[in-house]
Chains A and B, each alone.
Chain A
């Protein structure tokens, strides 16, 4: 079985968000400028 693909990034205004849970359980969000 292939690995499940990561969920598509959320959008907020011009940004794309990817939410990550760090190894110790803390939340982290990667924000990048969403390309059209």
Chain B
């Protein structure tokens, strides 16, 4: 069971999940725990010969009942795939899987916030290459979600709606637009290719989205991630995080997906160093307008 300790200087919780030190680390393809269990092959986490999408409780949980949950979401039984390379129909189904888990986990009394995310690439610490994401059902409201609620208060309404309107005014940081979804490198991005994929209508979470909106979200996320891979002609590492309403303030959020890619060039990483870690202030080498122009071109070409 994890232990929570409150860091008084930072005013935030730290989670000690020490069993995770033993978790599977970059196994050979033949020993991938997220592949199906094939006849004559090793028994994996998934006891069937083929599957579409699977969700299961993490063997090395950061949170677990009765104080939250940690789940693994496996997108496909194809070990060599990626979110960007999923068949569009599978990506659309994944939106429904995320929504189902958000609703079911969010209804639990021991869950305050549902965080759906994907870490892609060893650069951001992924330990399994098989295409998958994770879900952490927090027993407390984490700081980023709290900051978003504070931004709503500071701006006197939905901050995400207001910021999206600002992005639409000039449009120079917009990289993808459809009738239901807008994607842009934000005005004050903290990563060279940070991108926010935002529902145009105010939808607190996946649960309030129509089927058409979920389809549009899947299409936008795939257009962006394919563009990322095209940008430097290499698999593009990223952290992808769904931002949704907290469980007990279901009207407060605005569904959007934030990407934090660590690359600043094809071969160079942006590190969180002295200024970022010691002062909490990000220093950037590139303007968001410049990275948006490059990313827009890559998305169009992908």
Interface residues of A (CB under 8 A from B): 12-15, 17, 20, 22, 26-33
Q: Which residues of A contact B52 (CB under 8 A)?
A: 30-33
Instruction: Please determine whether B96 and A15 come into contact, CB atoms closer than 8 angstroms.
Output: yes
**Which of chain B's residues has its CB closest to A14's CB?**
B96
Interface membership of chain B positions 27-52, coded 1 if the CB is closer than 8 angstroms to chain A and 0 otherwise: 00000000000000000011110011
Instruction: Please determine whether B59 and A31 come into contact, CB atoms closer than 8 angstroms.
Output: no
Once A12-B100, A17-B100 are accepted as A-B contacts, the answer to whether A28 and B55 lie under 8 Å apart by CB is yes
Q: How far is the CA of A31 from the CA of B46 in the complex (A)?
A: 12
User: Which of the residues A20, A30, A31 comes within 8 Å of B93, measured between beta carbons?
Assistant: A31
Q: How far is the CA of A31 from the CA of B73 in the complex (A)?
A: 10
Q: Is B56 an interface residue (CB 8 A)?
A: yes
User: Which of the residues B56, B89, B99, B211 comes within 8 Å of A28, measured between beta carbons?
Assistant: B56
Supply 11 further A-B pairs (C-beta < 8 A) apart from A28-B46, A30-B48, A31-B53. A13-B96, A14-B93, A20-B47, A26-B56, A26-B57, A28-B54, A29-B54, A29-B55, A29-B56, A31-B93, A31-B100
Instruction: Please determine whether A22 and B54 come into contact, CB atoms closer than 8 angstroms.
Output: no
Smallest CB separation, B92 vs chain A (Å): 8
Task: Give the interface SS of chain A, mostly helix, strand, loop or mixed.
Answer: strand
Q: Which residues of A contact B45 (CB under 8 A)?
A: 22, 28
The 7 nearest A-B residue pairs measured at CB:
A28-B56, A26-B57, A31-B53, A13-B96, A32-B52, A29-B55, A12-B100
**Which of chain B's residues has its CB closest to A26's CB?**
B57
Instruction: Please determine whether A31 and B55 come into contact, CB atoms closer than 8 angstroms.
Output: yes
Instruction: Please determine whether A33 and B56 come into contact, CB atoms closer than 8 angstroms.
Output: no
Q: How far is the CA of A24 from the CA of B247 in the complex (A)?
A: 29
